[in-house]
Chain A
Amino acid sequence: MVPEFDGLTSFRKSGMQRLRDAEHMLNPPTIDTQEQGASARHMRGAMYLCGYGVECLLKAYLITQHPPSQRLSEVLGELRKTDPNVRDICGEAGHDLRYLLVLTKLEGQMNKEREGQMNRYAKWRSSWRYDPKPAREDDAKEMVQAARALVNWIISLI
């Protein structure tokens, strides 16, 4: 079954949108502003959403590296022709950013600055949506900034 949002354009557009969502969540809250911990209320959400920004762009980049494919499921089929053990990047493995990094081969193009940004970012997990622990404000801001730099870099390569 083909995933609902599987195409190059969807990944490129939604990646930018999720990153903007994350950046917006770094702003001071407008509801219950006097509540204890209000300033850090959305930090986990910001970190969670910015992860999808980079994930989507990595997937978009991967598609562009396998012309004439326009969908991730097509790329997966191509990759499995040469290596049947390639994990299902249209499923759970598609949230494994370190795995996507290997598949895209972008690791081979990263300088020290990019590696630093990736290190700020590489702890991201899709399961953070279930994490009730508030995130540190400084960590969240750094991670979203790193995600912005990475997204801009990947976009420039597409």
Chain B
Amino acid sequence: MLTGTRSRHTEPWNPKKINMPDITFNYDQEAERVVNALRTEFPTDTIDTTEGYNGRVHLKVVSRRFNGWNEAQKQAFIGELLRDKLGPNAQAVSLALVYGTDEL
């Protein structure tokens, strides 16, 4: 279940804006959920989060496992992993940066 709540619409209507639902997330709760979910897969690697817009989670994972992978492979892997581990709660992750140690 999503834990976010819809924020109040406070800005003037702009016809050029896409009418996407502007959900607010509880960042601390979502970040903890994400880190806990990924920790089983990456027990000793770096998993870091920062807060994005309205409590969204910006995720960073650094692991030797990704050495030699291209970006498409890394994104496909982390996207599938997040969906598998978090289900609909994966929606709270708006950015996922995946690094091999060969990029450092």
Q: Which residues of A contact B (CB under 8 A)?
A: 98, 101-102, 105-111, 115-116, 118-120, 122-123, 136, 138-139, 142-143, 156-158
Contacts and interface: CB of A to CB of B under 8 A. Distances in A.
A157 B17 CA distance: 6
Interface majority SS (helix, strand, loop, mixed), chain B = mixed
24 contacts: A102-B52, A102-B53, A105-B53, A107-B53, A107-B56, A108-B20, A108-B54, A109-B18, A110-B94, A115-B94, A118-B95, A119-B75, A119-B96, A120-B75, A123-B99, A136-B70, A138-B70, A138-B71, A138-B72, A139-B71, A142-B70, A142-B72, A156-B16, A157-B16
Contacts of A139: 70-71
Interface of B: 16-18, 20, 22-23, 50, 52-54, 56, 58, 70-72, 75, 79, 94-97, 99
Contacts of B58: 98
A157 B52 CA distance: 21
Contacts of A105: 53-54
Contact of A109 (B17, B97, B99): B17
